[in-house]
Chain A
Amino acid sequence: MNPSSINTILLFVLLINMFILGSNRIITAIKAVAIQGVILAFLAFFFKETTDSDAFLFIIIIAVKGFIIPYLLIKVTKMADINQEMTPLIGYVPTMFIDALSVFLSFFVASKLPLLPAHQETIIVPVFFATLMSGMLLIISRQKAITQVVGYLIMENGVFILSSMLTGSVTLLAEIGVLLDVLAGVFIMGIMLNHIATTFEKGDAVKLTSLRE
């Protein structure tokens, strides 16, 4: 239980957010998210002494976030040879700028919130908010379906930060259930992506905006 190491990890997370928002290649973004997930998996150990159940959970998380999901997404990308450029609705620099703003904002908010002394010295809550917002930001600012999945994954990572903060209240089973749900969600999304890529021709695969008033 040492705050400094936790903070370093969380800083990494923040940086990865920035990196994803800045990167213009999809595969890179996917890999980055995977790395983020793996890093976060370690977070659990810093909070309390480990039990074997934690180890079990750790393994599952590594498996799901580190390997299965990225593999799935990359496979889809390859299979439907979606081109690598993630066509932004808002440009890269503005997004990063907004993200930076959101980081500041979240730190500000977190300073206002009542926290346990244990959490006050770590930057866990602000990072959680920041990650959530960056995920949203990615979803809003990029048009392609797959990048939006990436944003979804970022948000999920943010939630994971939070859940790892509250060990004890959330049971192991619940954790696994959550994971599996996310997995199923991403899985179905992957299938849908595949269908999209096969049904639409490359031109309008970019943005799905035919259903409107």
Chain B
Amino acid sequence: MFLCISLFFILCSAFLPFFIAKKNPLLCDKLFAFFYSIGALLGLGFIAFGITKGLHVAYTLPFSILFSYFSIKIEMINLLFMIPIYLIGSMSAIYSTSYWSTAQKGLGSSFRYRLYLCLFTISMILLVISDNFIMFITFWEIMSLLAYGLITIDEDSEEAQSAGYLYFIATHTGVIALMGMFAIIQVYFGFSDFSSALGKIDANLAIASSIFLLGVFGFGMKAGFFPLYFWLPSAHSSAPVPISALLSGVMIKMGIYGILKILFMFSNIPHWWGWLIFAIGILSGILGVVYAIAQHDIKKLLAYHSIENIGIIAIGIGLAMLGRSYHNSTLVLFGLAGALFHVINHSLFKPLLFYSAGSIIEKYHTRDIGHYGGIIKVQPYTALFFLIGAVSISGLPPFNGFASEWLLYMGMFKTLFSHQNTLMPVVFGILSLALIGGLALACFVKVFGISFLGNPRKIELSNVKESSLFMLFPMAFLSTICFVLGVFPSIMKDILLDIASAFNQKNIYVKIDTLINLSEAYLWFFMIFGVVLAVVLYQTRGKISKNIGTWACGFSHKTPRAQYTSSSLMQMILDLFGWTLHVKRGAFCSKELFSQKYHFYLHQNDKTIYWLAKISEKFLLFCSKLRTIIHNGYMGIYVLYIFVALILMLLYVGN
């Protein structure tokens, strides 16, 4: 069994190296990365084998445990979701070699970090393969707790702690909802694992809707659906970079996985479910990207972008559900295929972006974009990889983000032909996807342009070097995959088709071979590109002189502060979305007669989180007030409570 071995290797990697950590910390980190990668490679090999062979494993441990039994089930969908876990896990392990090295962080911290990292990955793998409800929820909780440990690994930072608290609340609240959901399933339908419940639950029952809603609440809390994402930005931004990559690239996908899992259980799907998910997707997508544009903290920005991408994925899932409820298998195929493909893509380019952001942050010790600038000259490779990530997350050809969005678009456009006018609202999906695309593009032009191009704004670049190989390798690797998947998207088509037909619960005769055409078109594109590039290079060889300053239209501006800032670049767009933001603007000036300094500030933040915070604050105040009223310290009053309870109960009994 490949899997066990790979997990075992990963586990070893947590412990073995630390016997030599005292003497040679660097070697220890390297060993860790090495072992881990071996484990991951084995796992990936297993996955590749499984996908090619169309593997279908169902296995139950002989002994009973946890009031139930441990049954695992491995099919295409599990394999698909296992890919990012192994891939990003190993990448993070390699990245950590220099980002969280034992030498800097000290042995204890480093050991905890690596141990949590391994267990985190292992628990996710087990989560994905486990079939029994109890197993599932157990590993779910373990995963969440380890994630909490990883977010708050830095005991000293106030920010990390509060972020961890938010995350903790969110995740366990979700778990409680899931407990309720599984309880309903077990009591009403008597299933105790996914595979036995597969397609057996009739969704027209009233209780089924509550199953669905609880599931969406519980899993959506993890995935970061629109109102439930409140924990996500702070957690992603305050965790260590490799962990943010794991969280955003892999963990929140587990929520998607869960939702798919519960959808698999229903024999039919009511219309409003699909529309609900669809609407949630649109909301999360647009708001996520708008909030991202408003952000200046690069990691928060990326976090908001993962909300946006989850929105896109949710749109796809919603389409698939609609397809099932309207018996439109094309929609199911394209929707689900797009969603899953986007899951994979997002788990590729989001970690890529986080890694490259991390290699900046490590150098400049600030996450504020406004302080960067001109980094491309000192860290060219990081810049290149970030650019690739940016292009692919903006869904631009010829990278992978485009391929998945293309599938979604195709699905939605194809509904136009099916003469079900009830499906017409799908066009809003098209429009919002277009809007999201445009905004994401703008946002990443901002990030790339402001932080990598131009002149350094606040920080002196003189003594900055390119990051170490351990950091560059994961970026390079991931960007290659992004490119390859972008140019040859048809690699994915079989597995996607397989999962989609499993989801549809009857065969789908539509095909998604049109992905091939994309590669063909790209061939032409590269041909033209090569020709033009060759011509231009030939023409301009030896004619380039780089010895003047930027033409400032007559002014002579020496100061880099005259450059466009991130907020000024985006202000025109944000004005259109002012109603979604909580804007604070104002100005300070020194109070002398001839005021020397005058400086404006403009903070635009997430209105949703602002309101949530306000409401919870009010609620807490109310609680403490109520408490003081009830517990006023007079014992006579306490006795009165008993007396009143007695009387009331007597009255209740009386009639």
Contact A140 B627 (CB under 8 A): no
Interface size (B, Cβ < 8 Å)? Answer: 14
Contact indicator per residue, chain A 179-200, by CB within 8 Å of chain B (1) or not (0): 0000000000000000000000
Shortest CB-to-CB span from B560 to chain A, Å, is 56
CB < 8 Å neighbour of B639 from A136, A210, A213 = A136
Select the residue from B631, B633, B636, B637 with max chain A CB neighbours within 10 A. B636
B636 / chain A contacts, CB cutoff of 8 Å: 89, 139-143, 148
Contact A213 B634 (CB under 8 A): no
Shortest CB-to-CB span from A176 to chain B, Å, is 27
Q: A173 contacts the other chain (Cβ, under 8 Å)?
A: no
A136 / chain B contacts, CB cutoff of 8 Å: 639, 643
Interface residues of B in 634-648 (CB under 8 A from A): 634-637, 639-640, 643
Q: B616 contacts the other chain (Cβ, under 8 Å)?
A: no
Shortest CB-to-CB span from A145 to chain B, Å, is 8
B633 / chain A contacts, CB cutoff of 8 Å: 208-212
* Chain B residue nearest in CB terms to A90: B636
Q: A25 contacts the other chain (Cβ, under 8 Å)?
A: no
Contact B634 A209 (CB under 8 A): yes
A210 / chain B contacts, CB cutoff of 8 Å: 633
Q: B628 contacts the other chain (Cβ, under 8 Å)?
A: yes
Cα distance A136–B636 when bound, in Å?
9
Contact B643 A140 (CB under 8 A): yes
A140-B640 CB under 8 A given contacts A213-B624, A213-B627: yes
Q: A207 contacts the other chain (Cβ, under 8 Å)?
A: yes
Shortest CB-to-CB span from A138 to chain B, Å, is 9
| Overall SS of chain A's interface | loop
Contact indicator per residue, chain A 142-153, by CB within 8 Å of chain B (1) or not (0): 110000100000
A212-B631 CB under 8 A given contacts A89-B636, A142-B636, A143-B636: yes
B643 / chain A contacts, CB cutoff of 8 Å: 136, 140
Q: B632 contacts the other chain (Cβ, under 8 Å)?
A: yes
Shortest CB-to-CB span from A207 to chain B, Å, is 7
A207 / chain B contacts, CB cutoff of 8 Å: 634
CB < 8 Å neighbour of A89 from B624, B631, B634 = B634
Cα distance A139–B639 when bound, in Å?
7
* Chain B residue nearest in CB terms to A210: B633
Contact B631 A140 (CB under 8 A): no
B628 / chain A contacts, CB cutoff of 8 Å: 212-213
B624 / chain A contacts, CB cutoff of 8 Å: 213
* Chain A residue nearest in CB terms to B650: A109
* Chain B residue nearest in CB terms to A142: B636
* Chain B residue nearest in CB terms to A209: B633
A interface residues with partner B (beta carbon < 8 Å): 89, 136, 139-143, 148, 207-213
Extra A-B contacts (10), CB below 8 Å, given A89-B636, A143-B636: A89-B634, A139-B639, A140-B637, A142-B636, A148-B635, A209-B632, A209-B633, A209-B634, A212-B628, A213-B631
What are 15 residue pairs bridging A and B, where the CB atoms are less than 8 Å apart in the complex?
A136-B643, A139-B635, A140-B636, A140-B637, A140-B640, A141-B636, A143-B634, A208-B635, A209-B633, A211-B633, A212-B628, A212-B632, A212-B633, A213-B627, A213-B628
